[in-house]
Amino acid sequence: MTGVWALLLDRPLSAQEAAELTRKQFPQAADLSVVAYRAVGGVLNYLYETQRTDLSYLSSLRHYESDRFMELDLTARRNLELTETLRGGEKKGSLLWVLDKTKTAMGSRMIRSWIEQPLISPAAIRRRLDGVQALVEHTMEREELILALREVTDLERIIGRVVYGSANARDLASLATGLGKIPKLRELCAAVDAPLIAEVRQGLDDLTALREELERAIVDEPPFTVREGGMIRTGYSEEVDRLRSIQTGGRDLVAQMEARVKEECGIRNLKVSYNKVFGYYIEVAKSQSELVPDSWVRKQTTVNSERYINQELKDLEHTIFSAGDKVTALEYELFSNVRDKVGQEVTRIQRTAKAIAGLEVFASLALVAERNHYVRPKVNEGGIIDIKGGRHPVVEQMIDNDMFIANDTYLDNTKKRISIITGPNMAGKSTYMRQTALIVLMAQIGSFVPADKAVVGIVDRIFTRVGASDDLASGQSTFMVEMTEVANILRNATAKSLLILDEIGRGTSTFDGLAIAWAVIEHISNTKLCGAKTLFEIGRASC
């Protein structure tokens, strides 16, 4: 990377030049289009121009393929409250709040990405489910994993700061602490029989040599700044130890000099002292001033004594005062060398961090499944969604003094594609529809689901149309916002999609709203036009 992108130091690159450099640097991504190469090249060019640092840590290029993940638009994410609540924007009350029992920032970021990007490959989903099931069955190993993961630091953020040269000694000490837990994690993973857990174990690189170097070099509790010393452990550098001994042992050196000068000059009451004005000086009583050697220079006269300085004391003073500056500079140099060594292992550390995050997500999903009595879903490509005793994962955790009433759901690709949900207000219609969507989504991220039994046909997209309000900024009324969202759903939904539609047409008059709802249902039910599986709520008034 360094050799190729060193050209960026001379001049900015055109889009075509950046694309060619990207193609050379990442040959493993040869199937990318020219447009994609230009885009990546432009990003790398921008990073180099703004950060002015080596990009060697970008060792691989992987392009995002939308057909690998379920598509969730902003409206669906908001209405299903995947990562934050609809009203308060808080984590508590969201699906993420229920599933995220991770202890590290790496695991928390990964489980969020899993929730926002559910899989659509049955094989990939089953591999994740196998990993979760293995940890559900190995309770002791899972609990030990969770305890060990609590002490793992955020390796991803640390290595990012190392690469950009902003990491301090505390970051390196935290890195050493985190790497020190990896042997234990590998040992626990070996006891869990699942292909994906075994794959995670292979990615756990404890970087023994680097960890030992960090432990020898950096103290356990280093200071926050790197320019004031105190970072390097005693015994790592002989020169640092020598300068520190001078710095801390200055009084001993002065006392030794004082005793020797008394013996040489025969001045019994001679005393070496210090003040902020003159620094170190030799104080002699006036009655014995005739014994002072000619090489001494008088600095001050007091009532009862004379104060002198000689070359030896000047040298000693300089040694003591300069030792602090020298040791600080030397410590920073040694710290920079150690940080550079860490930077050379960026690829291995990134791979380890990803493995740790994945392991923690599996442990979190297994813990939630066991605590909340979730079951393993069966995923298929037949399009059948058959949920027995389904529960809303969030609502059942939020109610304290009541029991959640479970419900069944059945949708297929033939005569039962659409279910009309009706009933009085506060009957739980919206909760029922949302819980179906969340159970499908949870199954496709590889999580166990809140149900007695669940068969989930792979869904490529989830669309929701729940509630509406005026959009005054763009001049749209409640009815216009609702119709715009419905039009977007009808244009983009496929036969493999799942639609959650709540009282379509309620923003206008009863008869017009009913006509709109009827027309929407007819369009969705037509397999030549849409054919999506749908839960359609119609209020009692509309009926």
Query: Which residue carries 């299903």 as its tokens?
Result: 80
Which ranges constitute the DSSP H helices of 249-393? 250-265, 311-343, 346-372
349: nearest Cα among 494, 491, 154, 530: 154
Mean pLDDT on 359-368: 95
Confidence category of residue 543, pLDDT binned at 50, 70, 90: very low
- Separation in Å, CA 364 to CA 132, 361, 377: 9, 5, 17
Confidence category of residue 2, pLDDT binned at 50, 70, 90: very low
Confidence category of residue 89, pLDDT binned at 50, 70, 90: confident
User: Is the confidence at residue 507, as pLDDT, over 70?
Assistant: no
Q: Which pLDDT score, from 0 to 100, does residue 539 have?
A: 61
Confidence category of residue 170, pLDDT binned at 50, 70, 90: very high
User: Is the confidence at residue 270, as pLDDT, over 50?
Assistant: yes
User: Is the confidence at residue 371, as pLDDT, over 90?
Assistant: yes
Look up residue 103 and give its amino acid: K
Query: Which residue carries 């849409």 as its tokens?
Result: 530
Measured between alpha carbons, how far is 41 from 22 in angstroms, rounded to an integer? 5
Q: Which pLDDT score, from 0 to 100, does residue 453 have?
A: 95
Measured between alpha carbons, how far is 151 from 103 in angstroms, rounded to an integer? 8
Least reliable range by pLDDT among 91-95, 291-295, 337-341: 291-295
Measured between alpha carbons, how far is 313 from 319 in angstroms, rounded to an integer? 10
Q: Which pLDDT score, from 0 to 100, does residue 358 have?
A: 93
Q: Which pLDDT score, from 0 to 100, does residue 260 have?
A: 86
Provide, rounded to the nearest whole percent, the portion of the chain with pLDDT above 90. 35
Q: Which pLDDT score, from 0 to 100, does residue 12 have?
A: 54
Q: Which pLDDT score, from 0 to 100, does residue 338 have?
A: 93
Residue 372: in which H helix or E strand, if any? Answer: helix 346-372
Q: What is the mean pLDDT of the chain?
A: 84
User: Is the confidence at residue 370, as pLDDT, over 60?
Assistant: yes
Confidence category of residue 27, pLDDT binned at 50, 70, 90: low
User: Is the confidence at residue 347, as pLDDT, over 90?
Assistant: no
Give residue-wise pLDDT tens across range 374-406.
999 999 888 899 999 999 999 999 887 778 889
Q: Which pLDDT score, from 0 to 100, does residue 516 have?
A: 85
Least reliable range by pLDDT among 262-266, 268-272, 387-391, 536-540: 536-540
Q: Which pLDDT score, from 0 to 100, does residue 8 have?
A: 42
pTM confidence score: 0.79
What is the b/e burial string over 268-307, where b = at least 16 CB atoms within 10 angstroms of the residue's CB?
eebebeeeeeeebbbbbeeebeeebeeebeeeeeeeebbb
Confidence category of residue 9, pLDDT binned at 50, 70, 90: very low
Q: Which pLDDT score, from 0 to 100, does residue 311 have?
A: 87
Confidence category of residue 275, pLDDT binned at 50, 70, 90: confident
Measured between alpha carbons, how far is 185 from 198 in angstroms, rounded to an integer? 12
Give residue-wise pLDDT tens across range 311-322.
888 887 777 777
Least reliable range by pLDDT among 128-137, 285-294, 391-400, 436-445: 285-294
Residue of higher predicted confidence among 58 and 347: 347
Residue of higher predicted confidence among 118 and 531: 118
Confidence category of residue 530, pLDDT binned at 50, 70, 90: confident
- Sequence-separated (6 or more) residues with CB below 8 Å from residue 298: 306, 307, 308
Q: Which pLDDT score, from 0 to 100, does residue 379 have?
A: 94
Q: Which pLDDT score, from 0 to 100, does residue 470 have?
A: 45
248: nearest Cα among 318, 323, 316: 323
Confidence category of residue 1, pLDDT binned at 50, 70, 90: very low
Give residue-wise pLDDT tens across range 186-227.
998 988 888 888 888 888 988 899 999 999 999 988 988 888
The secondary structure of 144-185 as a DSSP string is HHHHHHTT---HHHHHHHHHTT---HHHHHHHHHHHHTHHHH
Residue 307: in which H helix or E strand, if any? Answer: strand 305-309
122: nearest Cα among 191, 47, 78, 68: 68
Number of helices (H), then strands (E), in the chain: 21, 13
Confidence category of residue 47, pLDDT binned at 50, 70, 90: confident
Confidence category of residue 245, pLDDT binned at 50, 70, 90: confident
Residue 283 β-bridge partners = 271, 307
Torsion of CA 166, 167, 168, 169, to 10 degrees: -160
